[in-house]
Amino acid sequence: MTVPPSEHAGPETDLLPPPGCPAHAAATGPDGTTRLYGPTAATDPMGLYEKLRAAHGTVAPVLLDGDVRAWLVLGYTENRDVATRATQYSRDPRVWHGWRSGEIDPATSPLIPMIGWRPDCVCADGEDHQRLRGAVTAGLDQFDHRGLRRHITRFAHQLIDGFCESGESELVNQFTEHLPMLTLIHLLGMSDESGPELVHAARDLFKATETSLASNAFVLKALEELVVAKRSRPGQDIASALLAHPAGLTDEEVMHHLRLILLAGYETTANLMSNVLRMVVTDHRFRGSLAGGQMTLPEAVEQVLWDEPPLMVCPGRWANGDTTLGGQQIKAGDMLLLGLAAGNVDETIRPDPATPVHHNRAHLSFSAGSHECPGQDIGRIIADTGIDILLTRLPDIALAVPEEELSWRSSTWARHLTALPVRFAPRQPRAQDLPAPLPAPPTQSSGLPAPGLWPETAPPVPEQRPAAAPASWWARLRRLLSRR
């Protein structure tokens, strides 16, 4: 139950040059520093982390896209140290000396969407962080988990209905990438029509390619329009909650926090679901433990979070002053990256990676300290509920290709399963009910939603099927999936 070995990296592995070939120089910079991007990093990131650990210990010098210098933290203890010492390691990227030295071009670098400063809680420290984080937490905590599961259940059934009659599916493109986005845009207060474009933009943004800046601009534009709409007509959603919070967030702050919730929640949950389902259809011990009751589905999710975290490298921290970490001399303004995947397999805490740890939530997959992911429970609920429904409806699901044909696409930050083709006995779809819309709160002079109308106390909304719904994204999605 561990991360797939390098021989499972797929066809890209065959493209690597043989030892001694000049193309191997692309794996390092001019001074020999290892690049955390390019063919080597893309095909076997876990192997690369172990080579760095062997050469440098728990903290290693690396180069990001454009040969931007940073430190990759590989040790479990060192990762927790950096994540929890906010006074020594700032979350504000403006501390980085690279802005002043001209090491990066903010107008063109694909790193900007990941390491650039934004007016959100991720880029803030101290009291400002507490103010912004409090608003985000309140926005996320307003949702009753049972009500949330009801909507996830509805979305999951509708997606499965799109392919269950065919007896085959490609789960990444037809299920795991869509369910988290559908759930999140619903919670944010966006329309279903936004789904397909945001899935594409979010994936592109995390690839750190030449189009990442354009994808980031697209996401921000969509969220800016949402903020304007919710100012005039608030509802029971995260956007309205942020706008109404006593912390007094500006429209720009609200927009960037919606971006944070959307992108972080989507990326991690989609990858987590793909990784769990891959284990179900490829690892007989894993599936047997689930079927035999030795491991519950939530425990299976935790095991995968240890072995294959959905975000492998987390940007970033910046040193407030000179210090020493893992035997390395860190200078003021240096950039540090949290190596979540590397830290999770540190032999000081996991001497035998094959030993199950599914009862343990001490992994680094959601970071740690004051910046630990506030939406991790929602991500777990989406994954648990969606996978449970899929396996309940399609209990005979099996991998449709040899396991060695599975392939991954990796960036500096994450590793994505590109496709998961499966087969099963064809089944009839369920009724195509649409989720009942959440009612808008009554107009109040304070602008705050009525306490009695928050989801945890609201009476259940009757689930009615519209008599004649206009053509929606659901219909277009079903037509698209039927042609695959």
Q: For the chain, what's the residue count? A: 484
Q: Alpha-carbon distance 255 to 268, whole Å?
A: 20
- Residue 284 CA, chain-centre distance (Å), reads 26
pLDDT at 173: 93
Give me the chain's average pLDDT, please: 84
Q: Please give the backbone phi and psi of residue 64, each rounded to the nearest 5 degrees, phi first.
A: -95, 175
Q: Alpha-carbon distance 134 to 121, whole Å?
A: 9
Model confidence at 476, pLDDT cuts 50, 70, 90, reads low
* Strand blocks (E) in 255-322: 313-319
Contact 428, 163 (CB under 8 A): no
pLDDT at 438: 45
pLDDT at 452: 35
Pick from 236, 252, 146: nearest CA to 454: 236
pLDDT at 432: 53
Contact 409, 42 (CB under 8 A): yes
User: CA dihedral in degrees (16, 20, 25, 31; nearest 10)?
Assistant: 150
pLDDT at 3: 35
pLDDT at 6: 37
pLDDT at 319 over 90: yes
Token couple for 466: 């519209």
pLDDT at 458: 39
> Side-chain half-sphere of 437: how many Cα atoms within 13 Å?
10
pLDDT at 137: 95
- Computed on alpha carbons and rounded to an integer, the radius of gyration of the chain in Å comes to 23
pLDDT tens figures, 267-276: 899 999 999 9
Which whole-number Å values give the CA distances from 222 to 191, 248, 343, 443, in the listed order? 11, 22, 36, 25
Mean local confidence (pLDDT), 367-380: 93
Of 39-43, 73-77, 186-190, 199-203, the one with minimum mean pLDDT is 199-203
The alpha helices in 5-144, defined as continuous H runs, are: 39-43, 45-56, 76-84, 98-101, 112-115, 126-141
pTM of the model: 0.81
Contact 47, 39 (CB under 8 A): no
* 20 burial level (CB within 10 Å; 0-12, 13-18, 19+): exposed
pLDDT at 207: 64
Which whole-number Å values give the CA distances from 78 to 40, 84, 319, 336, in the listed order? 25, 10, 14, 11
pLDDT tens figures, 231-246: 999 999 999 999 999 9
- Residue 312 CA, chain-centre distance (Å), reads 10
pLDDT at 15: 37
Question: Crossing angle, helix 473-482 and helix 195-207, to 10 degrees?
Answer: 70
pLDDT tens figures, 128-180: 999 999 999 999 999 988 989 999 999 999 999 999 999 999 999 999 999 99
pLDDT at 43 over 70: yes
Of 8-17, 198-207, 368-377, 396-405, the one with minimum mean pLDDT is 8-17
Question: pLDDT > 90: what percent of the chain?
Answer: 64
pLDDT at 277: 97
* Strand blocks (E) in 241-327: 313-319, 323-325
Of 279-283, 335-339, 358-362, the one with minimum mean pLDDT is 358-362
Q: Alpha-carbon distance 214 to 216, whole Å?
A: 5
pLDDT at 197: 81
Mean local confidence (pLDDT), 49-68: 96
pLDDT at 477 over 80: no
pLDDT tens figures, 399-409: 999 999 999 98
The partner residues of 317 in beta bridges, in order of sequence, read: 336
Mean local confidence (pLDDT), 341-363: 92
pLDDT at 189 over 50: yes
